[in-house]
């Protein structure tokens, strides 16, 4: 089944289930197509968008949670899965098969969400009883999620099909669009979303997109495209917004509704009692004597400077058969009632590092150093020396991103790829890594059902 067929079936089932009551105040339709009912008024239209958020983080081991956070970390030099699982080992060993089930998820899941977003945008255009203000906000949210999914697709796979509507007959045979076109579509969506979204969050929590959410991703995208001035300008909008605060307590950052959070996912869970985040549920040992299954690479641990409080707060030791190992510990809870943690999607610390890199690239070394120092001071580290060259400062920023953002959405893997340093850095840990490993393979199912999809080099 290809990604478009999967997406259509997704809409034929319950798009928004009763768990969405945490996002909105009404139950959604349970047995009708999205186009027929859920745009009948403001409440039902809002419920449809809430359903999209719920699907992004509804079940463990999907793109929107543990897979999106863990698999690129395996590809990089952060941590690895130490139990017997070929579908994970292939990422760490850079031997990914196109039939890998997790590769299928990294492709199918985003395209399902993109289809859902497209359906929302089309439905809103044909919804005379939905108010203009609600239409504008919901359209901005749908465009943000579509841009978010395409950002990761283009970074995982390179050129990808650009699906911007729900036309099944056309979309099932789309070829791959050049990455530049995909990025252009992402920027267009984010720019429009930035204009359409409200300044305030649409709900009491930071679990749906507002203007700042679109701005945060736009800052990142501009950084990736080497649009340094634009990246700096977008990041500055957030760094001067008093809604977002760099928290002094490292153990408070990943709590739900953290003031450092720009966007979090709320776990919609009906299968496992007490799950706070699927990341925490996956990585925290089930009992005090259990193993975690996820061990940090030794070179990652050695990258922490002496006295770095992030090592103490965000990395946890575990002794197995007399040997001490370490695992990511940003999320502290496997299960807990009431829920205390939400999955972090974007947070303010990244914006400091985006602006630092953008400023350094524009030769504003003083401003760049100032931004990095904010992150270092929070970690109880000394500020950087004043006499660093541009090249030294960029390496310091790369290192700071590695430490600050580890185990979050594959930042390390994507950073090494975009800066052209992946082979140089990772070959010391993974001697067999090759240039063709820097993109993931297109899933076998997708290439079999769409003859116009050409596989990435190195995977034929």
What is the CA angle 67-87-174, rounded to 5?
70
CB 403 within 8 A of CB 396: no
Stretches where the chain sits below pLDDT 70 are 1-37, 270
Tell me the residue range of the domain where 396 lies: 3-257+344-449
Residue 354 tokens read as 């985006």
DSSP bridge pairs for 325 = 318
Half-sphere exposure of 146 (CA within 13 A, CB side): 33
In a domain, 287, yes or no: no
Question: In this structure, is residue 278 part of a structural domain?
Answer: no
Q: Which of 279, 257, 260, 380 is nearest to 329 (CA)?
A: 279
363 exposure class (CB count in 10 Å sphere: 0-12, 13-18, 19+): exposed
pLDDT at 163: 97
pLDDT at 15: 39
Q: How far apart are CA 203 and CA 368, in angstroms?
A: 34
Domain annotation covers residue 276: no
Q: How far apart are CA 91 and CA 214, in angstroms?
A: 30
Q: What is the pLDDT of residue 273?
A: 87
- The residue assigned the tokens 């679990």 is 207
169 in any annotated domain: yes
Residue 58's pLDDT is: 84
Peptide bond into 279 cis (omega under 30): no
Six-digit token string for 170: 């056309």
Q: Which pTM does this prediction carry?
A: 0.93
Question: For residue 310, how many other CB atoms are within 10 A of its CB?
Answer: 19
Task: List, for residues 157-196, the tens digit of each pLDDT value.
Answer: 999 999 999 998 899 899 999 999 999 999 999 999 999 9
**pLDDT score recorded for residue 376:** 98
Does the residue 458 lie in any domain? Answer: no
Number of domains in the chain: 1
274 is a domain residue? no
What is the pLDDT at residue 270?
63
CATH number of the domain to which 93 belongs: 1.25.40.390
Q: Tell me the C-alpha to C-alpha distance, in Å, between residue 245 and each of 30, 38, 188, 198, 332.
A: 40, 37, 28, 19, 21
79 beta partners: 296
Structure tokens at 395: 């390496």
Q: Is residue 70 part of a domain?
A: yes
Predicted pLDDT at 59: 84
**Main-chain dihedrals φ then ψ at residue 296, nearest 5 degrees:** -75, 145
3-state secondary structure the chain: CCHHHHHHHHHHCCCCCHHHHHCCCCCCCCCCCHHHHCCCCHHHHHHHHHHHHHHHCCCCCCCCCHHHHHHHHHHCCCEEECCCCHHHHHHHHCCCCCCCHHHHHHHHHHHHHHHHHHHHHHHHHCCCCCCHHHHHHHHHHHHHHHHHHHHHHHHHHCCECCCCCCCHHHHCCCCCECHHHHHHHHHHHHHHHHHHCCCCCCCCCCCCCCHHHHHHHHHHHHHHCCCHHHHHHHHHHHHCCCCCCCCCCHHHCCECCCCCEEEEECCCCCCCCCECCHHHHHHCCCCCCCCCCEEECHHHHHCCCCCCHHHHHHEEEEEECCEEEEEECCCCCCECCCCCECEEEEEHHHHHHHHHHHHHHCCCHHHHHHHHHHHHHHCCCCCCCCCCCHHHHHHHHHHHHHHHCCCCCCHHHHHHHHCCCHHHHHCCCCCCCCHHHHCCCCCHHHHHHCCCCCCCCCCC
Q: Is residue 312 part of a domain?
A: no
User: What pLDDT score does 451 carry?
Assistant: 93
Residues 6 or more apart in contact with residue 312 via CB below 8 angstroms: none
- Distance CA(127)–CA(38), nearest Å, equals 9
In whole angstroms, give the CA distance from residue 410 to residue 314: 16
Burial annotation 221-232 (CB, 10 A radius, 16+ → b, else e): bbbbbebbebbb
């Amino acid at each position: 089944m290809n990604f478009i067929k999967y997406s259509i079936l997704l809409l034929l089932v319950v798009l928004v289930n009763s768990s969405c009551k945490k996002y909105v105040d009404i139950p959604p339709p349970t047995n009708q197509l999205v186009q027929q009912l859920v745009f009948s008024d403001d409440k039902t239209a809002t419920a449809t968008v809430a359903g999209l958020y719920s699907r992004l983080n509804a079940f463990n081991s999907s793109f929107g949670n543990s897979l999106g956070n863990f698999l690129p970390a395996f590809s990089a030099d952060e941590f690895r899965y130490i139990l017997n699982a070929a579908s994970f080992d292939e990422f760490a060993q850079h031997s990914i098969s196109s039939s890998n089930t997790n590769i299928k998820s990294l492709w199918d899941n985003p395209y399902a969400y993109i289809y859902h977003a497209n359906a929302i945008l089309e439905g809103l255009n044909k919804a005379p009883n939905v108010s203009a203000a609600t239409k504008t906000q919901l359209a901005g949210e749908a465009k943000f999620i579509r841009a978010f999914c395409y950002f990761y697709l283009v970074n995982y796979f390179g050129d990808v099909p650009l699906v911007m509507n729900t036309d099944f007959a056309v979309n099932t045979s789309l070829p791959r669009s050049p990455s530049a076109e995909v990025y252009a579509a992402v920027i267009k969506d984010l720019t429009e979303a930035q204009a359409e979204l409200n300044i305030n969050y649409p709900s009491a929590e930071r679990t749906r997109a507002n203007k700042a959410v679109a701005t945060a991703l736009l800052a990142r995208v501009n950084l990736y495209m080497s649009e340094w001035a634009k990246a700096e300008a977008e990041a500055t909008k957030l760094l001067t917004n008093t809604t977002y605060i760099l928290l002094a307590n490292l153990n408070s950052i990943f709590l739900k509704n953290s003031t450092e959070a720009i966007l979090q996912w709320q776990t919609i869970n009906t299968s496992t009692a007490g799950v706070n985040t699927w990341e925490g549920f996956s990585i925290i040992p089930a009992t005090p004597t259990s193993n975690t299954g996820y061990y940090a690479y030794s070179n990652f641990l050695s990258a922490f400077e002496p006295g770095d409080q992030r090592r103490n707060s965000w990395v946890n030791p575990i002794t197995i058969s007399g040997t001490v190992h370490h695992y990511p510990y940003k999320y502290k809870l496997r299960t807990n009632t009431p829920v205390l943690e939400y999955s972090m999607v974007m947070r303010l610390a990244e914006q400091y590092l985006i602006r630092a890199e953008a400023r350094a690239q524009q030769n504003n070394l003083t401003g760049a150093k100032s931004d990095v120092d904010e992150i270092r001071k929070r970690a109880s580290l000394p500020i950087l020396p004043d006499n660093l060259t541009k090249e030294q400062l960029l390496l310091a920023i790369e290192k700071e991103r590695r430490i600050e953002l580890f185990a979050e959405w594959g930042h390390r893997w994507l950073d090494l790829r975009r800066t052209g340093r992946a082979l140089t850095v990772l070959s010391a840990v993974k001697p067999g890594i090759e240039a063709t490993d820097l993109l993931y393979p297109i899933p076998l199912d997708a290439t079999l059902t769409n003859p116009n999809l050409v596989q990435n080099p190195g995977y034929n």
